[in-house]
Amino acid sequence: MTDVLATLRHRLPAPAFAGPVHHVYVHVPFCRAKCDYCDFASAAVGDAPDGALLDGFVGGVAAEWERERAAHDVRRLHTLYLGGGTPSLLGPDRLERLLELFRPFLTSAAEVTVEANPEDVDEAFAAWAAAAPRARGRGSACGLRVSLGAQSFAPALREALGRRARADPAAAFGRLRRAGVANLSLDLIQGIPGQAAADLEADIAAVLGLRPAHISWYELSLAAGTPLAARSARSRDEDEGAAFYRRVVRALSRAGYDWYEVSNFALPGRKARHNLAYWRARPYLGLGPGAVSTVGARRWTNVAGTAAWLRATSAGARPPREVEDLGAATRARERLLLAARCGDPVPLPELTAILDLEAAGSLAAAGLVSLHSGTIRVTRKGRYVAGAVCVRLFRG
């Protein structure tokens, strides 16, 4: 093994997060109401949000983008992701103003994603989403990608999650598709308190009936301090959790979806390129309150409070942020953790500082990783327990 490391050292690729920036994330920190399981940086603004606050946010993103663009080696953007929070509550006009900031920098094949909640998807939103890419300029061949937060098709399970939105995700999905939005992703959750195997089957059938281009299907995590964690007396049966996970993977794989990441599935050609950039440890900029950026050996997180972020950006200043310098070992550890999610191979020389070679050997014997041509890769079998596999691979 040591010989392999020595011979491969000369073709060591650039370290994680190095190089020019081609990916931007904008965090929209508003939701109509706070869901009971959510610990994301988002504030409840009700059903009639203050227009001045939302306009101020768009202005703040414009100022922050100008500043960050000048401060970093930003090239043509391959992906842009408007996430949150609930970007769709900004409405078509403000979303259009946001996209306008980035249009001159997008490549003609750039992937542009907007997250939406079903209650915001009316005819006006659907018409805007279908037309938005045409306004991207000559040569643009790509439609807008909309990621719709369904979570479950059963109203009782959405209620168990403390989602106050009553809108039917299937109706919102149909509206977008009829308007001409082809690149649609659905977000689902399994492991919802009270969810039985039959409920999971019903959600699987509903998803496959709609046949979105992309599906993200997460296991519910009970973040400490959330109302749902407080009222869920016991943690979930681990065997049941594993069985639900395997059932989702099997059903979607059989239906032609590529299980290309721990929680993500795509029809051919429809993998989420923005998220792949994260998993491949590419540098990215995050704009907005609470947004995270990682460029080179530095990661920073904007202040989560919208008021503090707005005060700074509207004064032309950099928002308060927490900065972390990523040492070589941290970057190597992250590289392995991220690659493990997709089963991507990592050249062994990138991992010399952190890899337990003995553990790698026994995990390979168990079929959880594969060692091949000087690389290590977490197998499909290992992907079910990718986090635990990585912990065993880390030295010391």
Q: How far is CA 91 from CA 51, 124, 126, 168, 366, in A?
A: 10, 9, 11, 19, 51
Nearer to ligand SF4 by C-beta: 31 or 121?
31
Nearer to ligand SF4 by C-beta: 27 or 282?
27
Nearer to ligand SF4 by C-beta: 26 or 38?
38
Mark 67-86 with x for binding to ligand SF4 (rule: CB under 6 A) and - for no binding: -----------------xxx
The C-alpha atoms of residue 274 and residue 77 are separated, in whole angstroms, by: 10
| Residue 7 contacts residue 51 (beta carbons within 8 Å) | no
Pairing of strands 214-219, 258-261: unpaired
Instruction: Residue 392: name the closest of 373, 370, 375, 368 by CA.
Output: 368
Q: How far is CA 171 from CA 121, 162, 245, 275, 284, in A?
A: 9, 20, 26, 26, 34
Q: In b/e form, how buried is each residue of 353-367, taking b as 16+ CB within 10 angstroms? A: ebbebebbeebbeee
We find the least distance from the C-beta atom of residue 84 to ligand SF4, in angstroms, to be 6
Mark 343-382 with x for binding to ligand SF4 (rule: CB under 6 A) and - for no binding: ----------------------------------------
Run of H or E residues at 228: helix 227-231
We find the least distance from the C-beta atom of residue 350 to ligand SF4, in angstroms, to be 34
Chain positions 125 to 144 lying near ligand SF4, rule: CB under 6 A, are none
Total residues at the site for ligand SF4 (CB under 6 A)?
10
Phi and psi (nearest 5°) for 90?
-65, -25
Q: How far is CA 243 from CA 194, 247, 257, 384, in A?
A: 15, 6, 19, 11
We find the least distance from the C-beta atom of residue 13 to ligand SF4, in angstroms, to be 35
Mark 241-280 with x for binding to ligand SF4 (rule: CB under 6 A) and - for no binding: ----------------------------------------
We find the least distance from the C-beta atom of residue 198 to ligand SF4, in angstroms, to be 25
The C-alpha atoms of residue 298 and residue 284 are separated, in whole angstroms, by: 11
Chain positions 306 to 345 lying near ligand SF4, rule: CB under 6 A, are none
Nearer to ligand SF4 by C-beta: 117 or 294?
117
| Residue 143 contacts residue 131 (beta carbons within 8 Å) | no
Chain positions 26 to 65 lying near ligand SF4, rule: CB under 6 A, are 31, 34-35, 38, 40, 42
We find the least distance from the C-beta atom of residue 151 to ligand SF4, in angstroms, to be 8
The C-alpha atoms of residue 73 and residue 242 are separated, in whole angstroms, by: 43
We find the least distance from the C-beta atom of residue 165 to ligand SF4, in angstroms, to be 8
We find the least distance from the C-beta atom of residue 332 to ligand SF4, in angstroms, to be 32
| Residue 78 contacts residue 23 (beta carbons within 8 Å) | yes
Nearer to ligand SF4 by C-beta: 189 or 277?
189
Nearer to ligand SF4 by C-beta: 39 or 334?
39
Angle, alpha carbons 288-285-132 (nearest 5°) = 70
Mark 91-120 with x for binding to ligand SF4 (rule: CB under 6 A) and - for no binding: --------------------------x---
Nearer to ligand SF4 by C-beta: 154 or 329?
154
Nearer to ligand SF4 by C-beta: 61 or 63?
61
Task: Determine the angle formed by the axes of helices 328-342 and 386-393, rounding to 10 degrees.
Answer: 150
| Site residues for ligand SF4 per CB under 6 A | 31, 34-35, 38, 40, 42, 84-86, 117
